[in-house]
Amino acid sequence: MSQIESVILYGRNNSVNLGRAYDLAIQIIGRDGERYIRNSYHPDFLLVRKEHDENDIPIEKTRYINEFLSIRSDVSGKRVVIIENAEGMNKNAANALLKTLEAPPGGSAIILTTNKLFSILSTIRSRCQKIFINAPKEKEYGSDDPFLQRCLDFFDKGCRNLPSFVKLVNKDEVSKFLDIAITYSYCRCLRSPSVDDAQRHLDLLDFAEKSKNAHLDPYNLVAACCCFIAQ
């Protein structure tokens, strides 16, 4: 790994995201250091997080990342940083991290975890590979969640009867609908991977990012999502 590897692990469950980040760090550094990595004692590993007495992740912590990564590793030959719940970085901290991503030290990896992907600075997202970790299951929404069931039925039927469905989506549920649509699209890629499905999923993610600040009404947002789901 001569060049920095930057990845965002995102999903609904923060604990699962962090667990996968540790797994990836162990894979990069090596199994011999697993116990030390999981206890944050390994000299080639750094965990950055918001502490209980902090309102956010401050700039001092993200500045230190560049210093940490610049130190030569005499153990594994690699250096790994995990930023837990990276959406918690304040603006200055995020900008400091961005500078590290723009001019990365060699032989290093930065792993960000989050359950709020679109709360991370867009310029940071664009420089990181994004991996969805924890597709929501029924029990995470609640098995008796009628909105989830309506959405899944709607998608399974090819998004037919759009006007009737949109009437059942209120403004407070738009964000949830988008989350379910992204997950449905991702799961479809897993079930029957194809170049077309993968591209539609990426297009849906791009649309979700752009629509965050577009203030679309429920009908237009749902209709646009259906273009990616029903193709």
Tens of pLDDT, residues 115-164: 888 889 999 998 998 887 754 444 444 445 788 788 888 888 888 888 88
Element (H, E) at 25: helix 14-29
- Closest of 12, 21, 16 to residue 183, by C-alpha: 12
pTM of the model: 0.62
pLDDT single digits (tens) 27-65: 889 888 899 999 988 999 999 999 988 899 999 999 999
Residue with tokens 């959406």: 87
Burial call 114-144: b when 16+ CB within 10 Å, e when fewer? bbebbebbeebbebbebebbbebeeeebeee
pLDDT digits (tens, 9 = 90+) for 159-218: 888 888 888 887 778 877 887 887 777 666 655 556 677 777 777 777 877 776 667 777
| Domain chopping of the chain, boundaries | 5-132, 138-229
Q: What is the CATH number of domain 5-132?
A: 3.40.50.300
Angle ∠(114,18,89) on CA atoms, nearest 5: 40
